[in-house]
Amino acid sequence: MSETRIALVTGANKGIGYEIAAGLGALGYRVGVGARDEARRESAVEKLRAAGTDAFGVPLDVTSDRSVTVAAELVEREAGRLDALVNNAGVSGETGPGWVQDPTTLDLDLVRAVLETNVFGVVRVTNAMLPLLRRSPSPRIVNVSSSVGSVTRQADPAVQVGPVMAAYAPSKSYLNAVTVQYARQLADTGILINAACPGLVATDFNGFHGPRTPEQGAATPIRLATLPDGGPSGAFFEDAGVVPW
């Protein structure tokens, strides 16, 4: 088996995903750049290669069964296995004034769209990639979540941050919960799966409002993608440590 470790990062054409790809590349990983738009994907691949990362493009729309199946076939052809999968692609869904998603007037189609990417997309991609991950001696899965998915924090007026987001925040709670179910199911396989909060990062996602850089946001996902054997699984981390559920 080749010594070079292989990673796939979804939504890797920009923002935090791009920096996760760059960081894993700097650690010597060969990185699949999962992205749905061809021009954005190819420009990210070129930029990563120029910076010394062994990157390859993986056309990938996480909301499409067909796209995900074809992406798994491509990774198999390109690399034969996967050592790290980072499920980073995510959407906030439309918001009202002040970035609010008001639960009392919530458009259920909006909720469905957010879940389709942030939850079903992660399950779809993870399950398609699992056969390739099982070929790795030390497989790792990272689900890029958010501390707004922490029900504990959302329910505590002392630590509540940001606007009410009745579609986005619960999508990350669901993602956290499903991460735990995966960890239970995959216990004893050697696959470690965890959720990561990047912190408040200035990206397209939030109109570039946020104190952290995408590179800083990538740090915890990269740490979890490169955990040593015997590391944690089924947990939720930010830079400062464990995030409460």
Residues that bind ligand NAP (CB under 6 A): 10-11, 13-17, 35-37, 40, 60-63, 88-91, 117, 121, 144, 146, 197-198, 200-201, 203-206, 210
> How many other β-carbons are positioned within 10 Å of the β-carbon of residue 11?
27
> Least separation, in Å, of the C-beta of 137 and ligand NAP?
28
Distances from the Cα of 35 to the Cαs of 88, 122, 145, 209, in angstroms?
11, 14, 18, 23
Query: In the annotation, is 168 catalytic?
Result: yes
List strands edge to edge, sheet with 6-10. Answer: 54-59, 30-35, 6-10, 84-87, 140-144, 192-196, 236-238, 241-242
Question: In the complex with ligand NAP, which residue's Cβ is closer, 139 or 214?
Answer: 214
Least distance to ligand NAP, CB of residue 241, Å? 16
The number of beta carbons lying within 10 Å of the beta carbon of residue 77 is 8
Give me the amino acid identity at 221: P
Comparing CB distances to ligand NAP, the nearer of 35 and 224 is 35
If the CB atoms of residues 138 and 213 are measured against ligand NAP, the closer one turns out to be: 213
Please tell me which residue in 18, 29, 168, 174 is annotated as part of the active site. 168
Residue type, 219: A
Please state the closest distance from residue 214 (CB atom) to ligand NAP, in A: 6
Q: Which is nearer to ligand NAP, 1 or 240 (CB)?
A: 240
The answer to whether 171 touches 119, Cβ cutoff 8 Å, is: yes
Q: Whose structure tokens read 């999968």?
A: 85
Report, in Å, the least distance between residue 89 CB and ligand NAP.
3
Q: Which residues are catalytic?
A: 168
